[in-house]
Structure formats: structure tokens, C-alpha cells
Structure 1
Amino acid sequence: MPKSDTPKLDDIDKKILRVLSDDGKISNKDLAEKVGLSPSPCWQRVQRLEKEGVITGYRTLLNQEMLGAPDVVFVVLTLERHSGTSPEEMIDKLALLPEILEIYLTSGSSDYLLKVAVDGTQGFEEFIRRKLHEVEGVSQSRSSFSLQCFKQIENFLPE
């Protein structure tokens, strides 16, 4: 959303967004209580924030370790310049790989940054050999395993 179209958020809106960022399953009654509103006006504000596109959805966070893919690898991809694959086609192909959690178009010498969930080095090797390097247009990749995550949030709400 361009800056000129950015909705004006008052302190109550920001409180609502902070509470929902921490607990998207909170009841409207409990949300209203936490932000100092009665339930009806609170619900109307949430509906407005959704309609304006400030709230884009609600998610469930999964424990990757319990699902068998505890390791996070960051992969920097460089594409072949003359592969005939458009950026849109590349994104579509990468998005089909379920191990890829996030895809970013980047500036600089690389084209994409991927966040990938795998089960150790063997799982990563299989992902690279059997999936990622089979995607037409990938020239090279560099990877780094995450050793430990110290901060993980989904949103940033400017003051």
C-alpha cells in the first residue's frame, strides 16, 4: 500500500494489532477487555482493519521439530540469465516445493533468498539434489544452516 494510502492508526488500533499479533485466537470479548473497549466497538475496529488491509489474515504457527523438519537453512539462489524462465515462472516453481517456507527477491549479486525447513544435512542434501537443482533456471546456490534462532516474530508495528 503506498504511503499516501496508509490508513491512520490511533493508539487503540495499535493496541488491537499488538494483542492480535501475540494471540490471533483471542476472543473478541477478551480482546476488547485488553484494549479498553466494549466488545461491539472492538469488533467494528477489527472488521475495519481487515477491510482496509491492515490485517491480512490469521495463521497457525507449527513446531517444525515435531513435524520432522527441525533445521532451517537459508539458501541464496542465482539464476541462469538465459534460461527462458521468467521471474514469475521461477517463483511459481519454487513455491511448489513444500520445504521452502519463504521466498524473497533480493538485490545484489543473487536473485532470491529462500528459507527452507529440512531434517539435518541429509535432508538438505536430498532437497538440493532431488528438488531445488531440478528447477529449470537455477544456476547456483549457496546455503547456511541456522544454528539457533534468537528472535522470531511475524510482524513489525511502527510506533
Structure 2
Amino acid sequence: MTEHDSSLDAIDRRILRAMQDNARLSNVELSEQAHLSPSQCHRRLKRLEELGVIDGYSARLNPEKIGLGVTAFVSVSLGKHGESPATRFAEAVQGIPEILECHSVSGEADYLLRVTAPDLKSFSDFLMHRLMAFPFVESVKSSIALECLKRWKGLPVS
């Protein structure tokens, strides 16, 4: 399968939309929403998993309810460019649980991170003593999220 496979038909898309809305649907419930028999629906779902269209299953947690009251977006610039600092940075972020996402970006910064922390003091400690402690990190700029107006609920499956 290519990065974007147009071989997904309307039934595949119904299955994907339903699974993004509620991945805990039983196969019978999913088959009803997809307008398929349970066995056909199960085969389609397994195919979507095998193709990697469905990347995995997880629960969306409310950060505030588990004590993570601060979300921030952090732009990171590396001091030296090239393969070694970029590789070292990519490896380093994998082991840091506060970093929820890390994207290589174009523009002024090299990376954009989505970070969470219990409070501002914890976030400051993370920035000063963990992220900026890496010798290849030249600068960071952060923006604290004041309010989440829309939470991620899934990809738009047309």
C-alpha cells in the first residue's frame, strides 16, 4: 500500500469513521454501521489493520483529569545541522514521556513539540533541565496552551 491509497472504498471509509468514533464497538455493532455482514466486516477490518491504515488502538485520556494541567508547544532549534545532531535529537525525544509529539518542521525552528506537564514549575524544570540540557539544542521557544478549543478526535475520512 502506498502512503495514500485511493483503493479504500466507501465501506472501508465507513468502518474507519466508526472505529475513530468508538474503537470499542463490537464486530456486530461495527458491521451494522458499515452495512455488512459481521464476517465481511471482520475481514475488512483485519485487512485495514494489515495494510497499516489502522495504526493501533488506544484510549484518549483527559490530561487535566490525570494531573497534566499544562500543555505547551515548543519550537526547538539545533545548534549544528546535519545527520548526527538530528539523529541524536530524534533518539533523545523517544525516551521523554512529557513529549507527546515531535515533528520536524520547516521555518525558523527545526522541530515542533507538543509537551505536557502537571504545572508550570514542572514544565519549566523540563525545559531547563532536560530539553535544554542536550548539547545539540541551541534554542527553544515555548507557547503555553491557555485553553483547548478542539480536541483531536480522529482524522477526517472523506
TM-score of the alignment, normalized to the shorter chain, above 0.5: yes
Structure 1, unaligned stretches of length 5 or more? none
Cα distance in 2 for residues equivalent to 1:128 and 1:110: 16
Contact map agreement 1:85 1:137 (CA 8 A) in 2 = no
Partner residue in 2 for 1:58: 57
Partner residue in 2 for 1:41: 40
Partner residue in 2 for 1:119: 118
Which TM-score applies when normalising by structure 2?
0.91
Matches within 5 A, 1:61-140: 61-81=60-80, 85-140=84-139
Cα distance in 2 for residues equivalent to 1:48 and 1:83: 39
Contact map agreement 2:85 2:136 (CA 8 A) in 1 = no
Residues 63-121 of structure 1, C-alpha deviation per residue, up to 9 Å, x if partnerless? 22122212100000000116984312211101211111000000012100000001222
Aligned length: 158
Over the residues paired in the alignment, what is the CA RMSD in angstroms? Answer: 1.9
Cα distance in 2 for residues equivalent to 1:83 and 1:125: 28
Structure 2, unaligned stretches of length 5 or more? none
1:101 maps to a residue whose letter is L
Partner residue in 1 for 2:28: 29
The alignment partner of 2:96 has SS state of coil
Which TM-score applies when normalising by structure 1?
0.90
Cα distance in 2 for residues equivalent to 1:83 and 1:16: 42
Cα shift at 1:54: 1.1
Cα distance in 2 for residues equivalent to 1:65 and 1:41: 40
Quote the sequence identity (%): 35
